[in-house]
Amino acid sequence: MAVTDDILEKSIDPTVHQMLARARELGLETVWDRYEKMLPECGFGELGVCCRNCNMGPCRISPFEDQGPQRGICGATADIIVARNLIRMIAGGAAAHSDHGRDLAHTLLLTAEGKGGGYEIKDEAKLATLAKEYGIATENRTKEEIALDLAKAVYAEFGRQEGFVQFTRRAPAKRVAQWQKMGIDPRGIDREIVEIMHRTHIGVDNDPVNLILQGLKASIADGWGGSMIATEISDVLFGTPTPVRSVANLGVLKADEVNIVAHGHEPVLSEMILAAAADPELVAKAKSLGAKGINVVGMCCTGNEIIMRHGIPLAGNFLQQELAVITGAVEAMIVDVQCIMPSLGSLCECFHTRFISTSYKAKFPGAIHIQFNEEKALDIAKQIVKVAVENYPRRVQDKVCIPDEKTECMVGFSTEAVIKALGGTLDPLLEAIKSGAVHGIAGVVGCNNPKIKHDHGHVALVRELIKNNVLVVTTGCNAIACAKVGLMLPEAAADAGEGLRGVCQALGVPPVLHMGSCVDISRILATCAAVANALGVDISDLPVAGAAPEWMSEKAVSIGAYVVSSGIFTVLGTVPPVLGGPVVTDVLTRGAEDVVGAVFAVETDPVKGAALMIAHIDKKRAALGI
């Protein structure tokens, strides 16, 4: 297997180098090959100036005034088209996160009604906290009675027509007042998403700024609504994460066990897969077929969900999903929704791997579909695990090639766990920020993207931040990248600046805190809100910044929009498709300051991206007089 120079350029991760060389040896195509075949990518698409919103088109606007059309057939300008396209991306992302939240609400409802096939309420303290927030009586009531009212209350957030989404009121009063002033305080989660689809239909909203405001409104309904519901209800059902040690990278696959990769996003399925994999009958069956046991590992955000609650090893992030199959050692790739490449079907056919889809919302060519149903959750999970176990004898040993690399990590820093690590109050963190030992806080999140050297954007940016005493909180594929290079160990404090190093060493925590999956960016929002409320300021006054160094998904667009809408300056490491609209670009990078107190910046060099974040933190510190 030859690791050539061009392979070295694709990732900083040695497992990726090894598996890409292996893919070439076997004549298999990966996401990187398909990316290269796609080049040059469509210039109109990159600028965001193509429109297919009606069948008079498709239309595309020429970036050169004297060469080609400057308006669509209906008369839409480049800015109208760019704004419509951008907020349709937000609608897609907000819908994905929020449907995740809805599924959790549904599971809570079934569990409260005694119909949850194996689920139980694990965090009663959080249930009580949320009940109080919603004004639900708790005295002399069973946890199921309280949970039923809570499930109905959060369910109602999706279809609400008027009023506000309850969790938005966790934001500082000044922030809520600004949202109300600008008309972007969301009414109901679904309503704001639907309104984007209406406004972007031909002949409806043709004011780029008005369109973007609706995009921000829907994104707030995601971050402070759908995503926050997903996080909070997951905690009620599966437990609020606390720090736990585990390992990350493809080396977590085992040569002598049944390997099951749980990939996707929602913990509803993966929690039951874990329970099923511990079933004595299935373990005995695996042993009878020659395996030493059943090894469940996570991929992408499902991986984040189960590593932070159970310490289950994490196989990798978005760009590693195909590579896991190419190890030849995966008996089953089990998926639910989001970030699952449709290429997995044909790739699994080159190996013995069973590709198992489980959601009626997400079917794939080449997959076996076993429909998951919360009411019979454990039974169906056992059925799925059985397929994996029975597949073990079909493994072709000559095809097995598992990289050695795996790195230890400490994960599971929910807001509650952070406060506990601080001794029960935010005060030590506030003092550290005031003294300058912690210069600021950065939320670094988001995907991988073959446009950028895999994990380089994430790791280089995070290293630069901690070197400059900026505490990093992270979720999603950034979290996985950081775990794989050892940045999530308390020992990584040695790589931090002197102030941050001292704080981390005193508390025994890493300088990069794992806060969970993509929906758990809501934990970052809640932490920022708690800090701002403690200081009596708005989030936009805090020395905090955000970044998505390798983002690619529509969910990331919605995330970026709600993070900026929450008052947090955000650096994007891949260029969003907006540059064809000068008004839209100006609103996002300058004008938004007057609307929400924060803007986007685009910087493809991660070290320069970190410098922008640090400069922003400097500015906020100076304004606070610290």
Neighbours of 193 (CB within 10 A): 27
How far, rounded to the nearest angstrom, does the alpha carbon of residue 380 sit from its chain's CA centroid? 26
Work out which of 6, 36, 43, 56 binds ligand SF4, going by CB under 6 A: 56
* 446 forms part of the interface with ligand MSK (CB under 6 A): yes
Do residues 185 and 163 make contact, with C-beta atoms less than 8 angstroms apart?
no
Do residues 162 and 180 make contact, with C-beta atoms less than 8 angstroms apart?
no
Work out which of 87, 91, 518, 563 binds ligand MSK, going by CB under 6 A: 518
The smaller minimum CB distance to ligand MSK, of residues 457 and 499, is found at 457
Work out which of 17, 47, 72, 560 binds ligand SF4, going by CB under 6 A: 72
The smaller minimum CB distance to ligand MSK, of residues 96 and 367, is found at 96
* 82 forms part of the interface with ligand SF4 (CB under 6 A): no
How many angstroms separate the CA atoms of 79 and 505, rounded? 50
* 189 forms part of the interface with ligand MSK (CB under 6 A): no
How many angstroms separate the CA atoms of 438 and 605, rounded? 24
**Hey, what are 18's tokens?**
């090894």
Q: Choosing among ligand SF4, ligand MSK, none, which partner's interface includes residue 450 (Cβ < 5 to 8 Å by kind)?
A: none
**Hey, what are 250's tokens?**
């493809």
How many angstroms separate the CA atoms of 448 and 299, rounded? 13
Q: Which positions from 301 through 340 interact with ligand MSK, judged by CB under 6 A?
A: 301, 317-318, 339
Label residue 129 left, alpha or beta by phi (over 0 means left) and psi (-120 to 50 means alpha).
alpha
Element holding 293 (H helix, E strand): none
Q: Choosing among ligand MSK, ligand SF4, none, which partner's interface includes residue 231 (Cβ < 5 to 8 Å by kind)?
A: none
The smaller minimum CB distance to ligand MSK, of residues 484 and 555, is found at 555
Q: Choosing among ligand SF4, ligand MSK, none, which partner's interface includes residue 76 (Cβ < 5 to 8 Å by kind)?
A: ligand SF4
The smaller minimum CB distance to ligand SF4, of residues 73 and 626, is found at 73
Among residues 166, 145, 143, 162, the alpha carbon closest in space to that of 154 is found at 166
Closest distance to ligand MSK from the beta carbon of 45 (Å): 20
Do residues 345 and 355 make contact, with C-beta atoms less than 8 angstroms apart?
yes
* 28 forms part of the interface with ligand MSK (CB under 6 A): no
Work out which of 447, 542, 587, 602 binds ligand MSK, going by CB under 6 A: 447
Helix axes 189-199, 78-112, angle to 10 degrees: 150
Number of residues lying near ligand MSK (CB under 6 A): 14
Number of residues lying near ligand SF4 (CB under 6 A): 14
Among residues 193, 138, 146, the alpha carbon closest in space to that of 165 is found at 193
Q: Choosing among ligand SF4, ligand MSK, none, which partner's interface includes residue 518 (Cβ < 5 to 8 Å by kind)?
A: ligand MSK
How many angstroms separate the CA atoms of 324 and 6, rounded? 20
Spatial CB neighbours of 451, under 8 Å, sequence gap ≥ 6: 35, 552, 574
* 300 forms part of the interface with ligand MSK (CB under 6 A): yes
- Interaction pattern, residues 242-281, with ligand MSK; x per rule: CB under 6 A: ----------------------------------------
**Hey, what are 197's tokens?**
């689809």
The smaller minimum CB distance to ligand MSK, of residues 31 and 599, is found at 31
HEC profile for 584-622?
HHHHHHHHHHHHHCCCEEECCCHHHHHHHHHHHHHHHHH
* 74 forms part of the interface with ligand SF4 (CB under 6 A): yes
The smaller minimum CB distance to ligand MSK, of residues 116 and 446, is found at 446
Closest distance to ligand SF4 from the beta carbon of 538 (Å): 38
Quick one: 339 exposed, middle or buried, by C-beta within 10 A (0-12, 13-18, 19+)?
Answer: buried
The smaller minimum CB distance to ligand SF4, of residues 44 and 164, is found at 44
How many angstroms separate the CA atoms of 616 and 577, rounded? 24
How many angstroms separate the CA atoms of 103 and 155, rounded? 9
* 197 forms part of the interface with ligand SF4 (CB under 6 A): no
**Hey, what are 94's tokens?**
């907000």
Closest distance to ligand MSK from the beta carbon of 104 (Å): 15
**Hey, what are 226's tokens?**
């759908």
* 208 forms part of the interface with ligand SF4 (CB under 6 A): no
* 477 forms part of the interface with ligand MSK (CB under 6 A): yes
Cα-Cα end-to-end distance for the chain: 55
Q: Which positions from 521 through 580 interact with ligand MSK, judged by CB under 6 A?
A: 553, 555-556
**Hey, what are 477's tokens?**
């594929």
The smaller minimum CB distance to ligand SF4, of residues 57 and 117, is found at 57
Closest distance to ligand MSK from the beta carbon of 235 (Å): 18
Work out which of 11, 30, 53, 107 binds ligand SF4, going by CB under 6 A: 53
Do residues 454 and 448 make contact, with C-beta atoms less than 8 angstroms apart?
yes
* 59 forms part of the interface with ligand SF4 (CB under 6 A): yes
Q: Choosing among ligand MSK, ligand SF4, none, which partner's interface includes residue 429 (Cβ < 5 to 8 Å by kind)?
A: none
Residues near ligand MSK (CB under 6 A): 300-301, 317-318, 339, 446-447, 476-477, 517-518, 553, 555-556
Residues near ligand SF4 (CB under 6 A): 51-54, 56-59, 72-74, 76, 81, 202
